[in-house]
Amino acid sequence: MFDKFVEIICNYVEVDPETITEDTRFMEDMGFTSFDFVSMLGEVEDEFDIEIDQQKAINIRTVGEAINYIQELINEN
């Protein structure tokens, strides 16, 4: 899951995948814009076959928080 998610992240920003950890922040550390982030959510939904609640996703700041949320949604399915 972590590796797949990092692969998706690397479609959006120029970042060395080796440097991404669970603590890496989307905007401050990787330079995501809000448009990048919202667009990435669409790809994540398709990849993991889940439906993301935008209100919850808005508060996600780090890769770890995103992975926990995705895992939660996968478990619910």
Partner 1 sequence: MTKTKKGYKAYPLTVAQKFHLFYLNFCPKKEVVNIGTSLTIQTDIDFALLKECIYKGYERNECMRLRFTQDDDGTWYQYVVDTEDRGIEFVDFSGNTTEEAEAIMRSWTKVPFELSDSPMNRIVMIKMPDGWNGVYMLVNHLVMDAQSLIAFLRDVIEIYCSKVFNDVPYPKDMASYIEQLEKDLAYEAGCKAKDRDEEYFRKLIETSEPIYNGIDGRIKLDMAKRKFNDPNFRAAHNTSDSVDSALDIFHLEEEPTTRLMNFCEKYHISLTCLLLMGLFTYFHKMNNTGDVSINTAIARRATLKEKKSGGTRIHSFPFRMVIPENKSFIEGIYQIRDLQNDMFRHANFDPVKYFAYRGKAYPVEQGYTYEPMSLTYQPMTLKEKGLDKLGDIKYKTKWYENGATTQAMYLTVMHRPDDNGLDFNFEHQVNAVSREKLEFMYYYLCKIMFKGTENPDLSISDIIKLI
17 binds partner 1 (CB under 8 A): no
What DSSP letter does each residue of 12-60 carry, written as one string? TS---GGG--TT-BHHHHH---HHHHHHHHHHHHHHHT----HHHHHT-
Residue from 19, 31, 47, 56 binding partner 1 (CB under 8 A): 31
Residue from 2, 4, 58, 68 binding partner 1 (CB under 8 A): 58
Q: Based on CB atoms, which residue is closest to partner 1, 33 or 68?
A: 33
53 binds partner 1 (CB under 8 A): no
Q: Is 18 exposed, middle or buried (0-12, 13-18, 19+ CB in 10 A)?
A: exposed
Binding site for partner 1 (CB under 8 A): 10-14, 27-28, 31, 33-36, 38-40, 42, 54-55, 58-59, 61
